[in-house]
Amino acid sequence: MMIFRLGIGLFCVTALVGCLADEKKFGYAAGYGKSYPEPVVLEMPTNAPSITQQFRSPLAVSSLNGIEPHLGIDVHAPIGTPVLAAAGGLVERSFWGPAYGNQVQVLHAPDSSGKASRTRYVHLKRRLVEAGETLTRGQQLGELGVTGFLSSGFPHLHFELIYRGAALGHSSADPHLYWAKGAGKITCWGPEWQGLGDDELRLTYPVPCS
Ligand SMILES: [Zn+2]
């Protein structure tokens, strides 16, 4: 969960408790929220750990009532679950901060546009990589956790995509647009996805499917 105001965080805890009552551990993908303008149609594998909150663009929701931006997707899984690089790249940052706890940021190779994208992995229990390390797709970079006050005490991975971003922390995009199988087609990691070219960004799921 990544939110802008602490007060909203308390609201999210309440909402998530409601979600968890009937949530499945695998194969569940939360909706985008009523009146979100352009939700991505999702194909969620039945063996993928569930997504409890979707990306909501600050640009898309700024003029609407009752929807808060969310700069990534939240994947719910037990504390200690391996967190995997969604594509190969270079560890750009690996550090702890009060809001997002342990976090790792990976810089990916430039695509055909010549621009590079980044992925961020937030609220980790442990970071297993340091800045400067090179990662292959699917390589474990940390363990899922509940660190940072924006985790609201709810074990999950906040997974964020900074698409073709020129500056850190800007240009977040919906990761669902860039799965290896295609937009909306959540793609579990497997060795068959190793060796994809860099002509376009193609992501694989950042936690293992069962
Ligand atoms: Zn989040």
Provide the CATH number for the domain around residue 42: 2.70.70.10
Give 196 Cα–ligand 1 centroid separation in angstroms.
Answer: 28
Q: Give the Cα-Cα-Cα angle 51, 105, 102 (nearest 5 degrees).
A: 75
Give 135 Cα–ligand 1 centroid separation in angstroms.
Answer: 23
Contacts of 119 (CB under 8 A, 6+ apart): 85, 86, 87, 89, 105, 106, 108, 159, 160, 161, 162, 175, 203, 206
Please, which residues bridge with residue 82 across strands? Answer: 143
Distances from the Cα of 39 to the Cαs of 30, 49, 87, 197, in angstroms?
11, 20, 23, 28
Give 2 Cα–ligand 1 centroid separation in angstroms.
Answer: 4
pLDDT of residue 57: 86
Give 1 Cα–ligand 1 centroid separation in angstroms.
Answer: 2
Give 69 Cα–ligand 1 centroid separation in angstroms.
Answer: 10
- Is the pTM higher than 0.95? The answer reads no
Give 209 Cα–ligand 1 centroid separation in angstroms.
Answer: 19
pLDDT of residue 23: 60
> How many CB atoms are located within 10 Å of the residue 115 CB?
13
Give 74 Cα–ligand 1 centroid separation in angstroms.
Answer: 5
From first to last of its 210 residues, the chain has per-residue pLDDT tens of 444 333 333 333 434 544 454 468 999 999 988 778 889 999 999 999 999 999 988 877 766 657 788 999 999 999 999 999 999 999 999 999 999 999 999 999 999 988 999 999 999 999 999 999 999 999 999 999 999 999 999 999 999 999 987 555 456 899 999 999 999 999 999 999 998 888 899 999 999 999
Give 88 Cα–ligand 1 centroid separation in angstroms.
Answer: 22
pLDDT of residue 171: 67
Give 143 Cα–ligand 1 centroid separation in angstroms.
Answer: 16
Query: What is the domain range of residue 14?
Result: 1-210
Buried b (16+ CB within 10 A) or exposed e, 179-204: bbeeebebbbbeeebeebeeeebbbb
Give 24 Cα–ligand 1 centroid separation in angstroms.
Answer: 18
Give 73 Cα–ligand 1 centroid separation in angstroms.
Answer: 6
Give 146 Cα–ligand 1 centroid separation in angstroms.
Answer: 11
Give 40 Cα–ligand 1 centroid separation in angstroms.
Answer: 17
Give 70 Cα–ligand 1 centroid separation in angstroms.
Answer: 6
Q: Tell me the CB-side half-sphere exposure of residue 36, using CA atoms within 13 A.
A: 19
Give 111 Cα–ligand 1 centroid separation in angstroms.
Answer: 26
φ, ψ of residue 124 to 5 degrees: the values are -65, 145
pLDDT of residue 81: 98
Whole-number Å distance between alpha carbons of 196 and 200: 9
Residue 110 has what DSSP assignment?
P
Number of domains in the chain: 1
Whole-number Å distance between alpha carbons of 103 and 157: 10
